[in-house]
C-alpha cells in the first residue's frame, strides 16, 4: 500500500503537477508523500478556516464545473505558494538565491536591528529614536566597511554596536571595572565612555580637535564628526579610538589581575 501511494504521488504530484523530470531528485521535504502531506497540513494551518470549510463543502457536494481538474488545482496551489517580505510577496517561480538567503537570515537580521537600535539609544541617551537614525548608522557602517584599512581596526565598533565582547572582557555580572570604578550605568557605557582609559583618550581627542569643540558619545560611537571635522578624517579617528579603548581596557584588566607583573624569561617580575 505504501509503495503504491509513493508511485501515485510521484506520478500525479511530482511529475504531473510540479512537472519534475524523470530522474530529478526533489528536496527532502517532497521526496515522500508522507513528508509532503505533513508540510501540506502545516500550510493548511495558515489558510483561513472559512476557505477550508468552503472547499470541503464543494468537494463533498461534488458539483460538476465548480472544481477544476486535479492537475490544474495542484498547479494553481503551487503557483500561489510564496513568502511575504514586508509589503512584497515573492512567489515560488520568482524565488532566487538572494531572496532565499534573505529569508533564511531574516531572524538574524531582525536581532541585529534590535541590537543596533539599543546601541543608538544608549549613544544618544534617549528612550526612543527615529528610524532615520538607524538608517544613518547603517550607512555609516557601510561606508566604514569599504574603507581601505585593515578590518582589525573596524572590529571594535562592530562588536560595540551589538555589545558583542567576550564575557571575560565585560566582566560578566561583575559591577566594578578593572580601573576600580563602579559600572553603575552598565559595562558598555563605562568601558567605552566613563572609564579612566576612555576619559584619558577623550581628553586627548579634545586637545587635538580643539578644547572648544564638544565631544559626545554620538561622535565617538556613531561616527558622527564634531563640527569642523571632515567625515573621512573622523572615520579613521573614530575607529582608531574605539580600537584603542578595547585594547586599553584589556590591558588594564590584565594588569589588575596580575598585579602589574609580566613574564620575562619564564619568570614573573614586577615593573
Distance CA 31, CA 27 (A): 6
Per-residue pLDDT tens for 205-256? 988 888 777 889 999 999 999 988 999 999 999 999 999 988 876 655 555 5
Listed residue (248, 186, 240, 192) closest to 216, CA to CA: 192
Q: pLDDT band for position 22 (50/70/90)?
A: confident
268 pLDDT above the threshold of 60? no
Q: Write b or e for each residue in 44-64: b if 16 or more Cβ atoms lie within 10 A of its Cβ, otherwise e.
A: eeeeeeeeeeeeeeeeeeeee
42 pLDDT above the threshold of 50? yes
Q: What is the mean pLDDT of residues 65-93?
A: 76
204 pLDDT above the threshold of 80? yes
Q: What is the mean pLDDT of residues 79-101?
A: 83
Q: pLDDT band for position 267 (50/70/90)?
A: very low
Cα 162 to Cα 113, 126, 165, 166, 238: the distances in Å are 9, 17, 8, 12, 17
Return the top range by mean pLDDT from 31-45, 106-120, 238-252, 255-269: 106-120
What is the pLDDT, as a whole number, of residue 269? 44
Written as one string, the DSSP assignment of the chain is -HHHHHHHHIIIIIIIIS-PPTT----GGGSSHHHHHHHHHHHHTTS-HHHHHHHHHHHHHT-TTTSPPHHHHHHHHHHH-EEEETTEEEEGGG--HHHHHHHHHHHHHHHHHHHHHHHHHHHHT-S---HHHHHHHHHHHHHHHTSSS-GGGTHHHHHHHHT---TTTTTTT--B-TTS-B-TT-HHHIIIIISHHHHHHHHHHHHHH-TTS---HHHHHH-PPPTT--HHHHHHHHHHHHHHHHHHHHHHHHHHHHTTEEEETTEEEE-
Q: What is the mean pLDDT of residues 73-77?
A: 74
The angle formed by the CA atoms of residues 165, 231 and 236, to the nearest 5 degrees, is 45
Mean pLDDT of the chain: 81
What is the pLDDT, as a whole number, of residue 50? 84
What is the pLDDT, as a whole number, of residue 133? 95
Per-residue pLDDT tens for 138-194? 999 999 999 999 999 999 999 999 987 654 444 445 556 767 776 666 678 888 998
- What pTM does this model have? 0.62
Under the phi-then-psi rule, with left for phi > 0, alpha for psi from -120 to 50, and beta for the rest, what region is 32?
beta
Per-residue pLDDT tens for 94-103? 888 988 888 8
What is the pLDDT, as a whole number, of residue 171? 46
Distance CA 244, CA 223 (A): 15
Amino acid at each position: 500500500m505504501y509503495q503504491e501511494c509513493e508511485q501515485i504521488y510521484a506520478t500525479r504530484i511530482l511529475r504531473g503537477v510540479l512537472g519534475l523530470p524523470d530522474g530529478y531528485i526533489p528536496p527532502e521535504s517532497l521526496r515522500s508523500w508522507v513528508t509532503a502531506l505533513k508540510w501540506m497540513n502545516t500550510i493548511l494551518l495558515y489558510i483561513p478556516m472559512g476557505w477550508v470549510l468552503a472547499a470541503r463543502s464543494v468537494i463533498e457536494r461534488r458539483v460538476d464545473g465548480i472544481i477544476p481538474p486535479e492537475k490544474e488545482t495542484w498547479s494553481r496551489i503551487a503557483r500561489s505558494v510564496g513568502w511575504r517580505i514586508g509589503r512584497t510577496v515573492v512567489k515560488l517561480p520568482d524565488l532566487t538565491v538572494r531572496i532565499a538567503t534573505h529569508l533564511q537570515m531574516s531572524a538574524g537580521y531582525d536581532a541585529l536591528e534590535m541590537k543596533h537600535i539599543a546601541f543608538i539609544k544608549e549613544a544618544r541617551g534617549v528612550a526612543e529614536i527615529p528610524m532615520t537614525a538607524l538608517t544613518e548608522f547603517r550607512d555609516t557602517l557601510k561606508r566604514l566597511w569599504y574603507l581601505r584599512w585593515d578590518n582589525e581596526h573596524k572590529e571594535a565598533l562592530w562588536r560595540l554596536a551589538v555589545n558583542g565582547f567576550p564575557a571575560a572582557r565585560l566582566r560578566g555580572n561583575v559591577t566594578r571595572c578593572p580601573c576600580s570604578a563602579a559600572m553603575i550605568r552598565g559595562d558598555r557605557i563605562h568601558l567605552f565612555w566613563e572609564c579612566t582609559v576612555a576619559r584619558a583618550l577623550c581628553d586627548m581627542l579634545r586637545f587635538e580637535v580643539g578644547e572648544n569643540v564638544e565631544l559626545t558619545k554620538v561622535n565617538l560611537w556613531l561616527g558622527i564628526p564634531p563640527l569642523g571635522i571632515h567625515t573621512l578624517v573622523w572615520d579613521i579617528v573614530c575607529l582608531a579610538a574605539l580600537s584603542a579603548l578595547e585594547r586599553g581596557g584589556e590591558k588594564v584588566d590584565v594588569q589588575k589581575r596580575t598585579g602589574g607583573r609580566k613574564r620575562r624569561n619564564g619568570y614573573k617580575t614586577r615593573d
